[in-house]
Amino acid sequence: MLQICSGKMFQGEVEYRNNLRGVLYTNLRLNRDNRLETDAGSLLSTSNLGQSNTIIYELEELIEGNGHSAGVLISHGVDPYILDFSAILSFALNCTASPSYSLTDRLLGEQRGISTHSTPKQIVKRVFDKDVFCNEKDEEHLLAFIKQLIGLKRNTYLGVMSSIRTYVTGMQRIADDFELAYTLLVASIESLAQNFDGHKASWLDYDQRKRRLVDSALADADETTSEKVRAALLDIEHTSLSRRFRDFSLENISPSYYREEATDVLNPISRNDLAKALSNAYQARSQYVHNLRKLPDQLITTDSYTETCRINKKTWLTIQGLSRLARHVITSFIMQQPTVESEVYDYSLERSGIVQMPMAPQYWVGRANLYQGAGSMKLEGFLSQISYQMTIDPKGVVTDLTELLTVVEGKINELKKGDKLSFIALYIIFNGFVSESQRMENSDSFISAHEKLLSAPSAEALVVNLLFNVVPAWDMTAHYECLIMYFRERDNKLKFRCPKLFEAGIILQLAERYRSSGDYSSAIDLVEMAVENYPEHTSLRQFEIEFKLDNHPIEWTEILLPKKEEQVNR
């Protein structure tokens, strides 16, 4: 949000200028007489006579005019800006700053963590000290850092801010979880490596054990096929993650890390030890993520601020050492990136509080467009309308599909099989649910000509048979396999997903077939399946209990649809 507010991506005029102000709680002590002006807002001390842990953050918010576009935005308020600025301030000056008093108080206080049994200031120096005095050198660094940060290209800025937030969150987690803190510090570097190292995987990057198995399986395949298989595997798997993390870190270490920045540092890492220590850090991250394995005790020391330790003849970075390394790597990367004065970029969906939501079916389901996948999408949308009308509101919106289905009548044979089946099912359902006077003129002839395509097992056939209470002619094994296939594929591209009402219905319809054939055990299994796929349906859960006590017919409408008095109450 801070970069958006700078106006560098605006294509139109500034419509609103808002003077925003907020409070940061921090251990940073500013010069009382100076107002610290940055490219992302200003900082100034409060006028308390005594020591205060509050500073004032001020910002002129710029809002771009949207011309004749829909919507009006006047201001975001200070919250999204001060949250980002507090993260930047904490990172850049190695201090604690937050708009949350309770968080800052806990981080700077004497309360020991439940699992850490220590206070944050015992683990890393400066960050959680009672007072961090901002000197002239710190001010210069902050101004230059923020200027460079705001000037980055948008995609780089987004990646960098994510890394900074992860770093700051990792430091804050030192208060309650060392393993999570260590993992997040590693992740703050790894996220940049993943997004900006320009890595192109080769077959040698693939896991050696897996590589041997694949090469053995491809021994008899021709070279073209083998290369296609290898390329496909490389495309879907993240390879060499540990090496990429290590190499990216090493590439962004500047000489100052071993010189000026190492002043007064206890046991700083040496260049020759760093590569192995980075591998060890990534290993610790992986073991925590996958196995919740604790860090070696030596990495968490409260009697000194040593940056390294030796474990089984290997050099490791402590939390103190990893935090300094991560700050250096991230800062070095930022300061090396190109900046731009202005950029053409659509930031509209990246503004605070903006959320994209799918439109309700009534706004699109009836449109006469037959793109690939339209059949399953429109069938799913229309089924959701019917389900809502049957269970929630009898007067709920059900879209008139006449215009759409008239186009379908003329182009049905041009459609691919998946869309064709879905549109035929949609055609039958629509004309079956509207009144006689609203049925389409050619509906009888169209249905007669195409309904045979629904005689074979398919997801579309399951739904049509359910809604018209037709028991399919398939044997029960084929019926069961069709049901299982529906659930396996319902979230695949170009497939559709029924509302829970109809999913439970198609399960219960098959359960009744098993019950009536004498296979009571399979019927119970399917009733249980229906309950577990629609757990919020109270009547269905009650039916399960009763059915296990008394084998009686399964009528899905009686079980799943609300009684008339319930609908009136709704």
Report pLDDT digits (tens) over 174-196: 999 999 999 999 999 999 998 88
Burial of 373 (0-12, 13-18, 19+ CB in 10 A): middle
pLDDT at 497: 96
Distance of CA 33 to the CA centre of its chain: 44
Which range (99-103, 289-293, 519-523) has the least confidence?
289-293
Distance CA 496, CA 470 (A): 21
**For 451-455, what is the mean pLDDT?**
93
Q: State the DSSP code for 455.
A: S
Q: What is the pLDDT of residue 309?
A: 92
pLDDT at 233: 67
Q: What pLDDT sits at residue 228? A: 74
Of the pLDDT bands very low, low, confident and very high (cuts 50, 70, 90), residue 83 is very high
pLDDT over 60 at 568, yes or no:
no
On the question of pLDDT at 302 being above 70, the answer is no
Q: Which two tokens stand for residue 168?
A: 């700051």
Q: Mean pLDDT, to the nearest integer, of 540-552?
A: 93
Q: What is the pLDDT of residue 51?
A: 65
Q: Which of 130-134, 243-247, 257-261, 317-321 is the least confident region? A: 243-247
Q: Is the pLDDT of residue 414 over 60?
A: yes
Residue-level pLDDT at 220: 78
Can you give the pLDDT at residue 8?
94
Contact 321, 308 (CB under 8 A): yes
The model's pTM = 0.84
User: What DSSP character marks residue 283?
Assistant: H
The better pLDDT of the pair 393, 203 is held by 393
- Whether 524 shows a pLDDT value over 90: the answer reads yes
The predicted-structure confidence for 16-41, as pLDDT tens digits, reads as follows 999 999 999 999 999 877 889 999 99
- Residues 318-327 have a mean pLDDT of 96
- Please say if the pLDDT value at position 478 is more than 80: yes
Give pLDDT, residue 221: 80
| % pLDDT > 70, the chain | 93
- Range 497-522 burial, b when 16+ CB lie within 10 A, else e: bbbbbbbbbbbbbbbbbbbeeeeeeb
Query: Is residue 260 over pLDDT 80?
Result: yes
Q: Mean pLDDT of all residues in the chain? A: 91
147-179: burial string, b at 16+ Cβ within 10 Å, e else: ebbbbbebebbebbbebbbbbbbbbbbbbbbbb
* Low-confidence winner among 205-209, 261-265, 284-288 (lowest mean pLDDT): 205-209
| pLDDT given for residue 294 in this prediction | 87
Q: Residue 204 — very low, low, confident or very high, per pLDDT cuts 50/70/90? A: low
